[in-house]
Amino acid sequence: MKVSCNIKVNHLTRVEGHGNIRIRIKNGQVEEAGWDVVETPRFFEAILVGKLWENAPYLCGRICGICSIGHTLASIRAVENAFGIVPDKQTASLRLLLKHMETLQSHILHLYFLAAPDFLHIGSVLPLVQTHPEVVQRATRLKLLANDACDIIGGRRVHPTRPVVGGFTMLPEKSQLALIKARLEAALPDLVKTAQLFQTFSLPDFVRETEFVSLKGGDHYPFIGGDLVSSDGVVRKEDEYLQMTNEYVVDHSTSKWSRLSRPSLAAGALARLNNNFALLHPKAREIAASFSLQPVNHNPFMNNIAQLVECVHVVIDSIAIIEELLAAKWQKPRQPVMPKAGRGVGAVEVPRGILYHAYEFDKAGRITRADCVIPTSQNNANIHYDIIELARQSAAQQRTDAEIQRLAEMLVRAYDPCISCSVH
Amino acid sequence: MTAKEHTYLGVPVKKPKVAFFEFTSCEGCQLQLLNNEATLVDFLSLLTIVNFREAMSEQSNDYEIAFVEGSITRDDEAEQLKQIRDRAQTLVALGSCACFGGVNQLKNRFNDLAWVKKQVYGSHPIETREAMPLSAIVPVDLEIYGCPIKKEEVERVVTNLVLGKSIDYPKYPVCMECKANHNVCLFDLGQPCLGPITRAGCDAWCPTNRLGCWGCRGPAEKPNVRQLRQIMHEHGFSDEQMLDRLECFGGFGQYVSELKRASKE
């Protein structure tokens, strides 16, 4: 019997923001399928015009409730690059540590609260409070650690207060950093248990080849600034980001779309891992190996596992960063800022992929033009084409309506989309 | 899910059915609730959550309390908000976008939506209208201020709501909390600050982290904006810098136009 179905998911749950899935199959033929973003736009790029430079990181952090630290850091980097400010070692280390803790917080939120319920056939993490309290306790323990670290370094977990152009408004107490280090060491066994949990899940076997875009690591797995790279071999400088993003508008989406060498591209943990695998900490690579995850992997569901691998990497790297900070004497937290006319680009790897902020300033430091390219907006076209391919394969394999809908929802969730962000 | 018998200090409490919704926003205020790891489970035990799209797949139109995040920027949002109002006994505006329009209302300052749309989408048609707080569309029973909301305050407000206790907010400014925290004044650290005129309740969250207040909670009772302007000038800050903060979240309404007028004189 040939598959026929008409699936419409309005406002997909367990993702940030508002998007719809549609799949219509008739007698085994896909008539239409796709991913529509219906989020209301907020117009941040217009809002910034005419504002003094100091508004940029403060306002832009508010593009996103989940990755506000990443937006703040990308915005700061764009301003500093425009004004010719180079952060000192202490500032760079604290920013990377803060970035790592946001990565951990966001990945754990996604893995346990948003993705895991699908594999356990439940609607949310809430039933686990009764049935598997130890799992919920582990998830909240990891998330609390990451959030506490964000508070200590960034002043606040959502919309951070301390990171500013030139450095930080104030520094953490070393005793607090030492406590975070101890908790990070204790978190490693929790991450091993998380890996064991995900080993019990059967990840859908789905492959559609695509192009992965991320920062290009030099000596380290990349998170803040540097060259841009794609798995199809494109390499560009940070300030040539427009050649990597190529944004355009489509009728059925309030989010812009991106493309590079193919009709769509993918950003995110899997893109970073595919492009920089050798730079991961050996223990993180071990976790990847236990899931047979190696570059270049084209299964979007493996983004879940790539996030898990990155959790291990950032925890180990954070311990090393804190050790270095504890051994050094605190320098002054912030360097002076002298605005000047010009353009600056900041590229930062946030949990969902590579994020770009770019501003142009007049000589008083007022913004004359702003552009932000969000990881999820880069991913939206890729999600769309994945859904079409998933529909085609599902029709060929004669899956049931319920199974097709479940897989399509899981597919979108695997990207951990931040839809509000993508329609900033 | 049905409401189960639950006790607080030995007194039975009905767990109200609660729904969360979001309009134009970053969803950060709802996330702040999930960020409450240490007390999340206790907090949840006070409520029967029937709608929380960001975290759960189950949905229901049967609820007593609706928490609504975000401002209204499209006609379909206004219509959905009216439906929520009809269904909920208590409608709570969650965060500064819902209370005042938040950072989204900064686009209103251009008085030219066509220009705003063109800046971002070029000639591609896109639907938007002036960003508005919930109270511009429907009556709102309770407002929880802040960008982001302070989770301790939300828990206090929600607990009082469930237990039928009265809910009140400080009328004094952030400056008072800042002094109580023994902070060095931000003006003495060389930063502009709206602490003297902004409604307290956040425990001087930003100033305690040495970031001047941007006024996300709106005005304290009888804010002396004119005096603050003088203090700003004395410390070398321009009207433009004061205006950036005053207009940032939409809570200061008339004071923004007053400052703009005064600045032109």
Going along chain B from its start, the domains and CATH numbers come out as: 5-163 (3.40.50.700), 174-264 (no CATH)
Strands A353-361 and A265-266 turn out to be unpaired
pLDDT of residue B6: 67
Pick the range with the lowest mean pLDDT from A262-266, B76-80, B165-169: B165-169
Residue B5: per-residue pLDDT: 61
A with B: how many residue pairs have Cβ under 8 Å apart? 152
Phi-psi region of A260 (alpha: psi -120 to 50; beta: other; left: phi over 0): alpha
Q: Edge-to-edge, what's the strand order for the sheet holding A29-37?
A: A5-9, A19-26, A29-37
| pLDDT exceeds cutoff 90 at B153 | no
**pLDDT above 70 for A43:** yes
User: Angle CA(B17)–CA(A137)–CA(A314) in degrees, nearest 5?
Assistant: 120
SS3 B148: coil
Given pLDDT bands bounded at 50, 70 and 90, which one contains residue B45? confident
Q: Which of B153, B143, B198, B146 is nearest to B29 (CA)?
A: B146
Q: Does B113 touch chain A (CB under 8 A)?
A: no
Cβ of A16 within 8 Å of Cβ of B54? The answer is yes
State the angle between helix axes of A282-290 and A174-199 in degrees (0 to 180), rounded to the nearest 10: 20
Question: Is B21 in the A-facing interface, judged by CB distances under 8 Å?
Answer: no
Mutate to test the interface with B, among A158, A170, A373 (most CBs of B within 10 A): A158
Whether residue B4 has pLDDT greater than 70: no
* Banded model confidence at residue B3, pLDDT cuts 50, 70, 90: very low
CA angle B134, B135, B137 (to 5 degrees): 75
- A375-413 confidence digits (pLDDT tens): 999 999 999 999 999 999 999 999 999 999 999 999 999
Q: Which of B119, B209, B248 sits opposite A170 (nearest CB)?
A: B209
In the DSSP assignment, the letter for residue A66 is S
At a CB cut-off of 8 Å and minimum separation 6, what does A293 contact?
Answer: A273, A302, A305, A306, A309
For residue range B86-141, list pLDDT tens digits in order: 999 999 999 999 999 999 999 999 999 999 999 999 999 999 999 999 999 999 99
Q: Can you tell me the ipTM of this complex?
A: 0.95
Closest CA to A43 of B105, B52, B142, B84: B105
Task: Name residue, tokens 């932000």.
Answer: A372
Q: Which residue reads 């190696």 in tokens? A: A294
Quote the CA–CA distance of A169 and A78 in Å, as a whole number: 18
Structural tokens at position B143 = 């407002």
- CA B150-B154-B156 angle, to 5 degrees, is 115
B-contacting residues of A 121-140, CB under 8 Å? 123-126, 129, 136, 140
Q: Encode pLDDT of A174-206 as tens digits.
A: 999 999 999 999 999 999 999 999 999 999 999
Distance of residue B172 Cα from the nearest chain A Cα, in angstroms: 22
Q: Are B121 and B174 in contact (CB under 8 A)?
A: no
* C-beta pairs of A197-204 under 8 Å, 24+ apart in sequence: A197/A116, A197/A135, A198/A111, A198/A291, A198/A304, A198/A305, A198/A308, A199/A290, A199/A291, A201/A116, A201/A119, A202/A119, A203/A299, A203/A301, A203/A302, A203/A304, A203/A305, A204/A299, A204/A301, A204/A407, A204/A410, A204/A411
Residue with tokens 């209204």: B72
CB B159 within 8 A of CB A71: no
Q: Look up the pTM and report it.
A: 0.96
What pLDDT does B1 receive? 38
- A228 phi, psi to nearest 5 deg: -110, 145
